[in-house]
Amino acid sequence: MVYYEDKELTIRNMESTDARIFTDEFTAQGWHPEISGYMERLNDQSAGKCIALTAVFEGCPAGYVYLYLRADDGPFREKGWLIIVDFNVLKKYQRRGIGNRLMDAAEEIAGRYADTVCLGVGVCDSYGAAQRIYIKRGYIPDGSGVWYKGRQCVQYETVCTVDDDLILFLYKKLRG
């Protein structure tokens, strides 16, 4: 399904061929993705658990985001909100509005199901661009502090090495 289209950009459901492209492109960026992660998300999409979106810029997959129809962990578990997961735009396509268009599509879809959408974002500097885009888009911290591997951290607790699993949860009212 196509959710957005103009002369340069199309946002559509992720396809299995996107998995190899993203694996190769993110590896070229110095990341270490595994194709199995993309395939798992595609299986979740087939099972109706999520909507996997791909942004295609001038014919090339440039970014993606997953919208899960139910937040299964963290502070939003029992609220019935959708959760945005794993939002990425390849570095060579950043600063072209692609990320905002992906988020527009994800939020528009989420608004069909609930009045609020949520997400978690890493707290280390490699997530700085994502932190900024979320704040600019109106996301606010939920007030539960940081979480590590699905568990809320307690003040003065020694938690971990700062890695991708140390996150802050944010939410945004979509209507009402």
Say how many residues make up the chain.
176
Tell me what pLDDT residue 91 has.
94
Question: How is residue 176 annotated by DSSP?
Answer: -
Q: Mean pLDDT, the chain, as a whole number?
A: 94
List the CATH number of the domain containing 50: 3.40.630.30
Tell me what pLDDT residue 163 has.
86
Residue environment code for 95-118, b if the CB has 16+ CB neighbours within 10 A, otherwise e: ebebbebbbebbbebbeeebebbb
For residue range 91-118, what is the model confidence (pLDDT) as tens digits?
999 999 999 999 999 999 999 999 999 9
pLDDT score of 176 more than 80? no
Residue of 91, 86, 100, 103 whose CA lies nearest to 165: 86
For residue range 116-147, what is the model confidence (pLDDT) as tens digits?
999 999 999 989 989 999 999 999 999 999 99
Residue of 59, 54, 49 whose CA lies nearest to 83: 49
Tell me what pLDDT residue 171 has.
97
Range of the domain at 163: 2-173
Percent of the chain at pLDDT > 70 equals 99
Q: CA 85, CA 66: separation in Å to the nearest integer?
A: 5
Q: Provide the number of structural domains found in the chain.
A: 1
For residue range 10-46, what is the model confidence (pLDDT) as tens digits?
999 999 999 999 999 999 999 989 999 999 999 999 9
